Chains A and B, each alone.
Chain A
C-alpha cells in the first residue's frame, strides 16, 4: 500500500523520559476510516507518545511522519490537520464557568475559521448532558461533568470542520470518570468523526463501547 493511502504513517519513533527509553523504533500506521487505540500499562509512554505526536514534546530523533503521503514534523504544525488534543490535564480553568471555558477553548480550536455561535455551544452542552451546569463556577463540577465538557468540545469540532482540513483527535484516556451513557456518547462521536474522514489516536485502558473497530497499538512497560 503506498503512503498516500494511509491517513497517518509513522516510523522510527524513539522516545525517552529522562534517562529511560520508553519507545524504541516504533512504527505504526492508520488507514483511512480507522482509529488507533493505544493500550499499555501505566508508565509505558502512552501520554508521552501523544504529546510528542502533537508537537508539544520532542522525539529523541527525527521520526518519519507522513499524513496522506505528505511528510510532516508534527500534527499541530500540519496545515492539513485540525488537531484536537486532550491530555490528562484537560485545560479547563476553575475560575471560569463551563460556558466560558468552552468559549475560550473553541476560540483556540476554531482559530481562522468562522466563530461558533452561542446557540451551537449551548446545544452541544445540552447534548453532552451539562446544559444545566453551564454557567456554574467550574470548580463545583464533578470529574464526570468535566469530561462531558471535554466531549462537547469534540462535538463542536465535528460541526466546525473546514473542508481543507481533516479533523484529528488525540485523546488521553477520555473515558475516565464517564458513566455508561457518557461512554456510549463517546463511541457515537467517534463513529461520526470517522465518517467525516477524520482520524483519532486514543490512549485508553479499556474498550470504548459503541465505537467502530480500532487498530490497536500495544505499548509494553
Chain B
C-alpha cells in the first residue's frame, strides 16, 4: 500500500503541477527579497546567505503543507484511508514521502542557485545542499503533524505557521549552522550528523503523532 499511496499522491500532484511549481517559485522569490531590502554588499550577502536560504526553504515548505491533508479530508478520501486500519500507516508514509518528493526535494536541488546569488563558494553550496536534503524531510514530518492538527481547527494558515515554525527551529539552527561552520573552517560533520539523527528521530515519532492528530480531526 505504501507504493500505491505514493503513486496516487504523485499522480494527483502531476496533474496539478502548478502547486508544486508555485512553491519553488515562492522559494526563489523570498530569497530574492532580502538583497532588495538591504545593501547588496558581497560580504553581507555571504554572511546572510545560508540563513536566508534556510528561512526561505522553511517558509516554502510551510506554504506547501496545507495541501497534504486538507483536500483529502474534505472530499472524504482521508476517512476511507483511516478505515483501512491495517494498511493505514503505510498509506500515511506514502503520503509523507510523496509530499517531500514534490516539495523538499525540488527545493534542495534549486537551493544552489540561491547559493550562487549570495556568492557562496562551491563547498558551502555542497554543505547547503546536503543540509537541505537531510533537513527538508524533517520539515515535512513536523509540518505534517501541524497540518493534521490544523485539520481540526477552523481558519487559515496562520495557525499552521504558529504550530509548525517553533518546532522547526532546531533544523534551521543546525542546517544554517552547518554552512557557517564549513565557511569558518570548522567542518560541517557535527551539524550534518545532528540533522541525520534528527531525521531518524522524526521518522520514528512523527508518523505516530500525525496519525493520532488525523484521528482526532476525523472524530
Contacts and interface: CB of A to CB of B under 8 A. Distances in A.
A85 interface: yes
How would you classify the secondary structure of chain A's contact residues: helix, strand, loop or mixed?
Answer: loop
A100 B83 contact: no
Interface residues of B, number: 24
Interface stretch (B9-17, B47-55, B118-126): B9-17
A91 B80 contact: yes
Interface string B1-37: 1001000100110011000000000000000000000
Contacts of B74: 89
A108 B80 contact: yes
B12 A93 contact: yes
A107 B79 contact: no
A76 interface: yes
Interface string B54-77: 000000000000000001101111
Given A56-B219, A89-B74, A76 B81 contact: no
Interface residues of A, number: 27
Contacts of A94: 75
A8 B81 CA distance: 24
A87 interface: yes
A94 B71 CA distance: 10
A213 interface: no
B75 A92 contact: yes
A57 B129 CA distance: 43
B13 to A, nearest CB: 9
A105 B79 CA distance: 12
Contacts of A55: 83, 85
A91 B85 contact: no
Contacts, number: 65
A117 interface: no
A204 B86 CA distance: 30
Contact of B218 (A56, A92, A111): A56
Nearest to A90: B76
A91 B77 contact: yes
Interface string A86-122: 0111111111100010001101100110000000000
B172 to A, nearest CB: 33
B74 to A, nearest CB: 7
Nearest to B4: A107
Given A76-B83, A108-B80, A108-B87, A96 B75 contact: no
Contact of A108 (B16, B81, B218): B81
B203 to A, nearest CB: 24
B196 interface: no
A111 B86 contact: yes
B67 to A, nearest CB: 11
A107 B83 contact: no
A95 to B, nearest CB: 4
Nearest to A88: B76
Given A57-B218, A76-B85, A107-B1, A93 B77 contact: yes
Interface of B: 1, 4, 8, 11-12, 15-16, 71-72, 74-77, 79-87, 218-219
Which 9 pairs from chain A and chain B are nearest by CB?
A89-B76, A91-B76, A91-B80, A91-B77, A95-B12, A108-B84, A76-B83, A95-B15, A111-B87
Interface of A: 51, 54-58, 76-77, 83, 85, 87-96, 100, 104-105, 107-108, 111-112
21 contacts: A54-B83, A56-B79, A57-B218, A76-B85, A77-B85, A83-B83, A85-B79, A87-B79, A89-B76, A90-B75, A90-B76, A92-B75, A94-B75, A95-B12, A95-B15, A95-B16, A107-B1, A107-B4, A108-B81, A108-B83, A111-B1
